[in-house]
Each structure stands twice: as structure tokens, then as C-alpha cells.
């Protein structure tokens, strides 16, 4: 009877022990994922902003994204569906107004600047969104 009791106590402490170990393990895992996502954010240092940009097709997408990639812009993606450009840039080097102006210069109206008629008329006919 005594050995049974010892076995039960031993089992109990193993269960408790592994439980607290599992909890500790979970905590460390949580902390690890937190720090790794933090460092991920540091790697893509910069500001991300989204602005409305008019356009029609994949050619527009290529032109808009190319125009948006001025000095300081690390990422620029135009959504054909949403008609928005999401740009990631170094705020010390440029800003969303400058990006908008550059896009307007190649013919695309956007939240920050409007394309001149001259620039607009230079667009291929499939891209004329007005
Ligand atoms: Cu187009």
C-alpha cells in the first residue's frame, strides 16, 4: 500500500512538473515570437502609407509603381481592384506628397496631386481612366 502511495505521489509530481514546464515553455515561445516580430518591423524600417491613385490596368500598375519608386521608397504596390497605392518609404528621405507628385507627372491622378492634361493624354488609350 505504501509503494502505491509513493507511485501516486511520484506520478502527481511528474504531471505537475511537466505542466509548469509546459507553461514556462509557452511563455518563452510567446516572448520569442514577440521579439522576432519586433525585429521584423525594424528590418522594414520606414513609414507605410496608402493613397488613392486612378488607373485601369496592369500597364497602369507597372507605370504607377515605377513612378512611385523614387529615392527613399523601398516598396510600392498599386492595387488594380482598390485603386490604391501602398508605399513604404524612409520618412527622412521623402514623403507621400512627393510620391503622389511623381505619379501625377506620369499621368495618374491621385490623392496628393492631379495629372496635367498633357501628361494624361500621353497615356496609352487603354490606360485613360477619365
Ligand atoms: Cu493602364
Residue 111 Cα to ligand 1 middle (Å)? 18
Domain of 78: which CATH number?
Answer: 3.30.70.100
pLDDT (average), residues 90-118: 98
Residue 10 Cα to ligand 1 middle (Å)? 73
pLDDT (average), residues 10-14: 56
Residues 11 and 68 placed together within one structural domain of the fold: no
Whole domain around residue 16: which residue ranges? 1-43
Does the reported pTM lie above 0.85?
Answer: no
Q: 31-85, pLDDT tens digit by residue?
A: 544 444 444 444 557 999 999 999 999 999 999 999 999 999 999 999 999 999 9
pLDDT of residue 45: 72
How many independent structural domains does the chain possess? 2
65: left (phi over 0), alpha (psi -120 to 50) or beta: alpha
Please check the confidence at residue 121 and state whether its pLDDT lies above 60. yes
Amino acid at each position: 500500500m505504501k509503494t502505491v502511495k509513493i507511485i501516486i505521489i511520484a506520478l502527481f509530481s511528474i504531471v505537475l512538473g511537466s505542466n509548469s514546464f509546459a507553461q514556462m515553455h509557452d511563455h518563452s515561445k510567446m516572448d520569442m515570437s514577440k521579439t522576432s516580430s519586433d525585429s521584423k518591423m525594424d528590418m522594414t524600417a520606414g513609414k507605410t502609407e496608402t493613397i488613392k491613385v486612378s488607373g485601369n490596368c496592369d500597364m497602369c500598375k507597372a507605370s504607377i509603381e515605377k513612378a512611385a519608386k523614387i529615392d527613399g521608397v523601398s516598396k510600392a504596390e498599386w492595387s488594380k481592384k482598390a485603386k490604391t497605392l501602398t508605399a513604404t518609404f524612409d520618412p527622412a528621405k521623402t514623403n507621400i506628397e512627393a510620391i503622389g507628385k511623381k505619379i501625377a507627372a506620369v499621368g495618374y491622378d491621385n490623392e496628393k496631386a492631379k495629372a496635367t492634361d498633357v501628361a494624361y493624354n500621353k497615356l496609352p488609350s487603354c490606360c485613360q481612366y477619365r
